[in-house]
Structure 1
Amino acid sequence: MGQPSSNAFGLTAEQQEYAAWVRSVAGSFDGIEPVHGAVNRPLIKAMGEAGLLRGLFGGNSDDAPRDAAAMQLCLLREVLATVSTEAETALGLQGLGSYPILQSGTDVTRDRWLPGVASGEVVPAFALSEPDAGSDAGALGLEARQNADGWTLHGTKTWISNAPDADVYSVFARTTPGAGARGVTAFVVAGGAAGLTGERLDMVAPHALGTVHFDGVRVTRDDLLGEVDQGFAVAMRTLDLFRPSVGAFAVGMAQAAFDASLAWATERELFGGRLIDQQATQHTLAEMSTRIEAGRLLVRRAAAAYDDGAPAHVITTTAAQAKLFATESAQWVVDQAVQLHGARGLQKGHLLERLYREVRAPRIYEGASEVQRTIIARGLMKGSQ
């Protein structure tokens, strides 16, 4: 299973049972046709019917989502990634797009959207990035023009997962010009809102990604997520939760690559022996395993900090450390796995060919590695004061 039996952040018996259940459920999605570059609604609906999506919000009951448990989210994403990266990505995006609603929406807004997210009938999206505001999210320029009824939104969002097919968007817009991060407000926008259009982007990674245009889209105070000009905090709280889980996704991909490499090295014969008998192979596998374990521990440390209510700068710093190390390590592990497999590892349809394409994006989205290093440095300086 790739899980350590005991360590500082080992799994309880209940968590081990949950991981086994997630793995068994994920295996039932094999018959669902993959979809490249668009939302796979049959897959999301199947995950909802199986109860997997309720795990995004810290529970397994049939009740509407109420809370988010970081450790469970990380465990869910890591285990899913070892079985089906498409299912894992779809699940992660259900959480990312809906968590601003969960944490900052009104009761009416939560009741309208979250039960459908948990059942797989509603597909959400997290709309933060723009053509000129990616890593520097505080520089976003989607304009919210105030009027008697609320605001109208004008501008473009891009690199948005699940766009343009989402049913609901958590949108971050500028309400106060020139105020940087302090002038951003979060809104909930229905996917079918008048003035909202978009198109898909064709990327190397297979999941849905697109651009969304806002041409006078109307929003009211009932559509606010949190307070006016406080939307940047809504975005950052969401990322503090989901960045460790991106690391968990990376750990799961790396574990799948390692498991395949260990099996291949054991059975592959060359130069009169097995590939695993070569010292160079042994050292590579040892390094792969060590980096995976280190990434897993950092992810669980960050999740524990979040769930335990650690100081905000600790939560943010550990989340950045987990995402940085786990995603960078996964890229290296998958690359080494391809090297051990040789040309067959790059053959279309091979597990490693797919992982090789998919492992690259997590080093960029939800804050590129360079951004994570900056966040970590700021956290260290704050902690030393």
Structure 2
Amino acid sequence: MDIELSSEARQWQTMARDFADEYLQPHEVEAEHNGGVLSPELTARNKARAKEIGFSRMDMPKSLGGLELSIESQVAVWEQLGRVTNALAWCFAEPQSWMLEACSADQLQRYVLPLMRGEAHDCYAITEEGPGSDVAALSATAVRDGDGYRLNGEKWFVTSANLANYFWFQARVEEDDSDALFFIDQGTEGVEIIDTPTFSHTYAAHHPTYRFKDVWVPAANRVGKAGDDMAYTRAWFRRERLMIAARSCGAAARLIEEASEFARHRMVGGEPLIDKQAIQMMLADSATELWATRLMTYEAANAHDRDEPLRSLHMRCSMVKLYASEMANRVADRAVQIFGGRGYMRENVAERFFRELRVDRIWEGTSEIQRLIIAGGLKKRGLEGM
């Protein structure tokens, strides 16, 4: 199921696949039975190798020491890393190019470049209990206080906060009635963790709930300026949705491969399971849907590299996130069924992906939110404008 990629993307695809196969995949079951955590030695080794390869520098400009890879190449990387369960691929920080436009020179030095150098990790405090995926309706506030801002709000599902050095905190700014992001360092007075829920997946990265009460940050920690509103949050969402699609493709590919290999050797009624028509139908549907999804995902990546209009990119990222996340869930369900009782064991890749992939239909905007975005674009601009 080959797709024509640039030589650069092919090279990065191979490096990412080697990293996933050699450094991560052999330790999935160990992580599964240890709360998602690997030994300090393995964790340090994986981080060092990811840094050596340059994963943290993929989206940063060469002028700052980055690699300035095409989005196509970055999708190729995340597709291969998506083959690994237990979020073991989350062993490096990933600064994104939109941060260069959003952040001041001082903020780049203090917050963004340390991510690229592997010296820091960040997390996003955006989602709230009430609005959920409707980030435009958040209730967190930022009130001017001297030469800074006083921040208040409660944030849910702050992914990787237990591993992060600082937060990107989104709030409504009272003085100019706009939405803005702020940097908040871990340990700042007024930041309180109030819950660390357990989830279906087994990740070392947790998703705590935080209360921010009268947290003061200097004005220099405000990202962007009045009037930027949701521009940078939308840029973050576009990126995350596209890479969710890429990871979904990698997960589905591995599931199809593993289920097919099992079916070739599992004997039922004197013949291999893969010769049973019911199994063939499931594998055929999975392979077909994966191919369609990969075509969509790489076309969306290439649209970024062609500098298509932002509104078009926003629609495409919603489409691929919607289709890819739901496709991968269907493939995981079929894989569990093909494995039978073995597919219900935590040692089995199908069981782990069956749990892990479910959240991709929820975070960074639910499937329902994606459908609203797509329908809104269709209403405004029609098919030709999407």
Shared fold, TM over 0.5: yes
Could you tell me whether the CA contact under 8 Å between 2:139 and 2:153 is conserved in 1? Answer: yes
Question: What is the aligned partner in structure 1 of residue 11 from structure 2?
Answer: 17
Q: Which amino acid aligns with 2:51?
A: E
Question: Structure 1 residues 57 and 175 mapped into 2: Cα distance closer, same or farther (>3 Å)?
Answer: same
Q: 2:374, 2:83 → 1: CA distance? A: 28
In 2, Cα distance between the equivalents of 1:354 and 1:28? Answer: 18
Q: Matched residues, percent identical?
A: 26
- Amino acid of the residue matched to residue 36 of structure 1? G
Corresponding letter in the other structure for 1:24: D
Higher mean Cα deviation, 139-148 or 357-366?
A: 139-148
> Match for 1:135 among 133, 136, 148?
133
Query: Is 1:80 matched up with 2:81?
Result: yes
Moved more, 256-265 or 218-227: 218-227
- Aligned mates of 1:316, 1:40 — CA distance in 2: 39
For residues 178 and 274 of structure 1, do their structure 2 counterparts lie closer, same or farther at Cα, with a shift above 3 Å needed? farther
- Please state how far the C-alpha of 1:365 moved relative to its aligned partner: 0.3
Instruction: For 1:184, give the aligned amino acid.
Output: D
Q: Which moved more, 1:133-142 or 1:362-371?
A: 133-142
CA drift at 1:166: 1.5
1:360 corresponds in structure 2 to 358
C-alpha distance in 2 between matches for 1:40 and 1:303: 35
Structure 2: which amino acid aligns with 1:215?
K
Residue matched to 1:188: 183
Query: 200, 212, 215: which one pairs with 2:213?
Result: 215
Residue identity opposite 1:344 in structure 2? R
Report how many aligned residue pairs link the two structures.
372
* CA deviation profile, 1:323-381 (whole Å, cap 9, x unmatched): 00000000000000000110101112211111111010110000000000011111112
- What displacement does 1:185 show? 1.0
Q: Which amino acid aligns with 2:160?
A: N
Distance of aligned partners of 1:242 and 1:38 in 2 relative to their CA distance in 1, 3 Å threshold: same
Picking from 136, 145, 148, the partner of 1:147 is 145
What per-residue deviation string (whole Å, max 9, x for no partner) do you get for residues 293-330 of structure 1? 11111111211122211112210110000000000000
Contact 1:58 1:72 in 2 (8 A): no
**Aligned-partner Cα distance in 2 for 1:37–1:107:** 36
Following the alignment from structure 1 to structure 2, what is the Cα–Cα distance between the partners of residues 28 and 37?
15
- Asked if structure 1 preserves the Cα contact closer than 8 Å seen for 2:143 and 2:174, the reply is no
2:86/2:201 contact within 8 Å kept: no
Query: Residue 334 of structure 1 contacts residue 352 of structure 1 at CA under 8 Å; is this kept in 2?
Result: yes
Alpha-carbon shift at residue 123 of structure 1 (Å): 1.2
Displacement of 1:18 = 1.6
Task: Tell me the secondary structure at the aligned position of residue 79 of structure 1.
Answer: helix
- Secondary structure at 1:87 match in 2: coil
Q: Which residue of 2 aligns with 1:54?
A: 56
CA contact (8 A) 2:123 2:166 kept: yes
Shift of 1:200: 2.2
* 1:57 Cα offset (Å): 1.5
Cα distance, 1:39 vs. partner?
Answer: 11
Please say if residues 192 and 210 of structure 2, whose CA atoms lie closer than 8 Å, have aligned partners that are also in contact: yes
Unaligned runs of 5+ in 2: none
TM-score by length of 2: 0.88
Preserved contact between residue 19 and residue 76 of structure 1 (Cα < 8 Å): yes
SS class of match (1:76): helix
**Unpaired segments of 5 or more residues in structure 1?**
none
- Distance in 1 (CA, whole Å) between partners of 2:175 and 2:37 is 34
TM-superposed deviation, 1:31: 5.7
Q: Deviations over 1:207-248 (max 9, x none)?
A: 321112212211222112111352411100111122111111
In 1, distance between residues paired with 2:98 and 2:38? 20
Q: Structure 1 residues 224, 48: closer, same or farther in 2, change over 3 A?
A: farther
Following superposition, the deviation at residue 132 of structure 1 comes to 1.3
Q: 2: CA distance between counterparts of 1:366 and 1:47?
A: 28
* Structure 2 Cα separation of the partners of residues 162 and 40 of structure 1: 18
Within-5 A mapping of 1:79-118: 79-91=80-92, 94-95=93-94, 101-118=99-116
Alpha-carbon distance between aligned partners in 2 of 1:55 and 1:136, rounded to the nearest angstrom: 31
Relative to structure 1, the CA distance from residue 38 to residue 169 in structure 2 (aligned partners, 3 Å threshold; closer, same or farther) is farther
Return the letter of the residue paired with 1:202.
Answer: T
Q: Tell whether the 8 Å contact from 2:58 to 2:67 is kept in structure 1 after alignment.
A: no
Q: SS of the residue aligned with 1:146?
A: strand
Query: 1:331 touches 1:360 (CA, 8 Å); kept in 2?
Result: yes
What are the within-5 Å matches in structure 2 for residues 115-126 of structure 1? 115-126=113-124
Distance 1:372 1:228 in 2: 27
